[in-house]
Amino acid sequence: MKKFLTAAALGCLLSTSAIAQEQLPSRGEILQQMEKVNDWFMKRHPDPTVKSFGKGKYRTSNLWTRSVYYEGLMALYGICPKKAYYDYTLQWCEFHEWTPRNGSQDHDADNYCCSQIYIDMYRLAPSPEKLAQVISNCNMYLNTPDNSDWWWIDAIQMGMPVFAKLGKTTGNEAYWDKAHQMYMYTRDTFDGGMWNAKDGLWWRDMDFNPPYKTPQGKQCYWSRGNGWVVAALCRVMDELPENSKYYQQYKQDLLAMLKSLKGRVREDGTWNCSLDDPEDFGGMEVTGTSLFVYGMAWAVRHGYVKADEYMPVITKAWNSMVKNAVHQDDGMLGFQQGTGKEPKESQPTLYDKIPDFDDFGIGCFLLCGAEVYKLSPGEQGAGAKKLMQQKK
């Protein structure tokens, strides 16, 4: 059985020195920032069926960038179940006929990322047609011995939670087996493996494996790419029982990543686009930061890391994003790196710059906010003050 830390229990774990550093906002304050950012997006896109435009091209709105937004919206709905959020998501699902972007025979994880949302919506109101194409797509994988489709680490987040969710929903653990095979192929086999156990981080794809180095001669660990893996591991473990034969592998990898990331945080509490090379497009970047904080908050809540070590990191990062990236007048989210595969792409990241796709970064922020919200002690005043009172 999974164990979760309540806000009260968390307060008992935090040291006085940790509490003194920064205050975690109340749940109401956290939710206010999440809704402000989400409202900005929904006002810009009142019709979820309209094609997405980015990098000079129109694409169907169930591409991966929009799917990640809906991951965040579903997380927001989980703590604030407004009918408007449900209806907006349902309209999107129905318009795309509950089908992966290029049909049920598509092998590109970017194109079946949307299936995560279809499964979530099925769980809220089960109906066979909602899963038919998702099952057809995943069964295609079950019927082939090939495990090489996830050759870039972003695909782990786009695709792996689909298999995890479908396995739990249908009771067919073969989906878990296949996902694990593909994960381990990416981790250890493809081009020598994308996982560097020594540093506890991932290279994005074979283009960045050694001997590749940044212009300053360092390893190229892309922030958001590693963030995708952090999010995927949490989302997959949410679906598996702790006694699953794969759970400990995912937990081990997540904890190794979080330990590594905790040692790479910037002074302002966020992370660079290039984790080991601040000269290689350093500066605040909220998509990677959001995903890292999401994972850290998830791990604290599950009792897998020490709260007094990670809560100051979580708190400072969240407060920094709210203070420095969220436009308080209208909810626009700044300092997002747009689409790409490495630190140098979609640069520069700026406070007042809307990225080439304005959706997935908001999804990352909402995922993060929902987990931070669960660690907050409640509605009465600033979080840290409440925790200090509980400790006394």
pLDDT given for residue 3 in this prediction: 61
pLDDT given for residue 282 in this prediction: 77
Residue partners of 372: CB distance under 8 A and separation at least 6: 24, 30, 293, 297, 314, 318
What's the CA gap between 277 and 214, in Å, rounded?
A: 7
Q: Compute the C-alpha angle 200/294/226, nearest 5°.
A: 35
| Residues of the chain predicted below pLDDT 50 | 12-20, 380-392
Residue that has been written with the tokens 């922020």 in this structure: 365
pLDDT given for residue 321 in this prediction: 98
pLDDT given for residue 180 in this prediction: 98
Structure tokens belonging to residue 167: 């396995």
- CB 275, CB 211: distance < 8 Å: no
pLDDT given for residue 378 in this prediction: 75
Pairing of strands 57-59, 195-196: unpaired
pLDDT given for residue 382 in this prediction: 41
Residue that has been written with the tokens 């990322």 in this structure: 113
CATH number of 7-391: 1.50.10.10
pLDDT given for residue 5 in this prediction: 65
pLDDT given for residue 369 in this prediction: 98
pLDDT given for residue 2 in this prediction: 64
